Structure 1
Amino acid sequence: MSYKNQILRSLESSPILRFVQSLEEFQLMPQKPHFRPLDECEEVYREGLALKHMMTFVNVVKKTSKLQVNASRSIMDSLLKCLPELESHGFNVTNVQRRLLELQTMKESREELQTELEKVKCEIKMRTHEGTKINAELIDVTKEIKLLEEKKARLVSMNEENNSEIAKLKSSDSLLDEHIQNVEHNFESLVTFPWR
């Protein structure tokens, strides 16, 4: 890392700076910060503030790489808020910013899908409950239909038996009527029969 800023050349010999530069985050994304805003600070603070910004960059990259899908939005917002200041000191934060914004979009999309999923689960639960009620009513109606079919079968059988009895009685009625007519005829015949 080379610094064009005259005042910060002393950083190049700092063992702490060499350690920070050796960290994985700086190896993955080499940086050339200029730290120009630190020209306004007292010289005694500059090295510490420069190292603070370098460690902030390391922490932002590290935390971005370890974000979980259930991380709060405030964590992502906090990481994004650090980037403009780092950029003003010469850090290239484009890749980190792009990654964070993409992750934020994915998280929002997941939250929307999660909300939709909860609605669907609620609908499934409600419809399952409704289905249970319908099935119970269907079982009751099926039992009632079975009882009515049994009653119908009994009534059909009783009706057939009754019709059979009516047919027998009508047959008896005709026969008896014929007998009555015979008796009446015989009676008339006998009444009018000559006396000897």
Structure 2
Amino acid sequence: MESIAVGLAAFFELMGCQFFLPQPKDRCSPAPDLASWIFLAATVCLLWDISIYPRRFMHMGRAWRVLVETMAAIFIAELGTIVIWCGIERFLYGVTDEILHLIRNSCRPSPYLYWISGLITTFVSGAFLYFVLRATDSIYYINKFVLELWTTIKLSLRMLRCYMTMNTRGRRQALKVCQLTGKMTNRRSSSRRCSTPKEEEYNSD
């Protein structure tokens, strides 16, 4: 799906705006909201990976595709969070409440019901998120992004450490080299933009 469609669907869900399905007045359950947010993250990852826009309509403008995918993303997000997750959360909360009643042998609600139900629902939604990440190969891209980010941070720290150990003259020379490198890069990019296809073919030969 288009990134703007997925982003709008996630934004409306976080703001509590519903367009297709009514939000339950009594919420899904008294359990913490962390599990709902994790399930929403899994739904967003799933929406990011799927494509529902028909290929036969690809010749139309991009605005139509964004509109169709935005409406579809909002509907799927509401269906997942309101219908599917609310049903799962109510079931888990009810089972947890019944088990605690049997253990305590009392009709009064357990003071630990809130936290125990929160742990159980968070575990279930986290498992669903892990399944979606594995199914969509998102873990590979996350690991790749983290590795590239860590490599960039280490290189930047190494350059900063080297720069701090230089004297004033060395720092000035390093800054001049960086400025010259930036100017050469800008000149090359501008020359490539201005060159004709024939010139590029001649240069490549």
Q: TM-score range by the shorter chain?
A: under 0.3
Of structures 1 and 2, the one with the larger relative CO (CA 8 A, separation 6+) is: 2
| Higher helix content, 1 or 2 | 1
TM-score by length of 2: 0.23
Larger radius of gyration: 1
